[in-house]
């Protein structure tokens, strides 16, 4: 009879450990999924004035090519390609990598007023506050 209790106790302990592992994995999956589906803004910083694109991204879709594709859609003349020097800057690449890793909630692209003139201003809203 004692052996029966010991084997049931061992089975119960193993089942408890297995259940705890499953619960932890579900929690990790939900956290990752929530983070990947968080909305990321695309911001053009023109001499300190921040213009946020009206088209949000999901964090899981943030890639350099996707950003460039959306920027092309925001142009006045979508038959041409845009020119923004900052897109070749290592700080831009670092910003993209940071957002992909969950550090930060916006892709910020610095551009000068001449570069910003390529874009349709109706596709942007001016950010008034740093927290937006």
Question: What are the angstrom distances between the C-alpha of 132 and each of 6, 43, 50, 80, 111?
Answer: 60, 11, 10, 31, 19
Q: Is residue 3 part of a domain?
A: yes
In tens, the pLDDT along 9-24 reads: 777 777 778 877 877 7
Weakly modelled stretches of the chain, pLDDT under 70: 1-7, 30, 32-36, 129-132
Extended beta strands in the chain, E state: 39-46, 49-53, 57-58, 106-111, 124-126
132 part of a folded domain = no
Give the model's pLDDT for residue 84. 94
**Same domain membership, residue 54 and residue 9:** no
Cα distances from 74 to residues 29, 36, 58, in angstroms, run: 34, 24, 18
67 assigned to some structural domain: yes
CB 82 within 8 A of CB 120: no
Q: Which two tokens stand for residue 15?
A: 């089942």
Q: What is the mean pLDDT of the chain?
A: 84
The answer to whether residue 57 is domain-embedded is yes
Task: Supply the pLDDT for residue 5.
Answer: 47
In this structure, is residue 1 part of a structural domain?
Answer: yes
Q: Are residues 12 and 72 in the same domain?
A: no
The residue range of the domain holding 9 is 1-36
pLDDT on residue 35: 67
Residue 59 falls inside a structural domain: yes
pLDDT at 56: 83
Q: Quick one: 21 and 60 in the same domain? A: no
């Amino acid at each position: 009879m004692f052996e029966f209790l010991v084997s049931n106790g061992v089975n119960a302990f193993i089942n408890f450990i297995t259940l705890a592992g499953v619960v932890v994995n579900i929690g990790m999956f939900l956290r990752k999924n929530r983070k990947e589906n968080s909305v990321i803004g695309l911001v053009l910083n023109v001499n300190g004035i921040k213009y946020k694109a009206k088209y949000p991204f999901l964090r899981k879709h943030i890639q350099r090519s996707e950003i460039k594709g959306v920027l092309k859609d925001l142009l006045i003349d979508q038959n041409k390609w845009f020119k923004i020097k900052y897109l070749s800057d290592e700080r831009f690449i670092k910003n993209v990598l940071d957002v992909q890793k969950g550090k930060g909630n916006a892709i910020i692209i610095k551009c000068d007023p001449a570069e910003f003139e390529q874009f349709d201003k109706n596709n942007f809203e001016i950010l008034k506050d740093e927290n937006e």
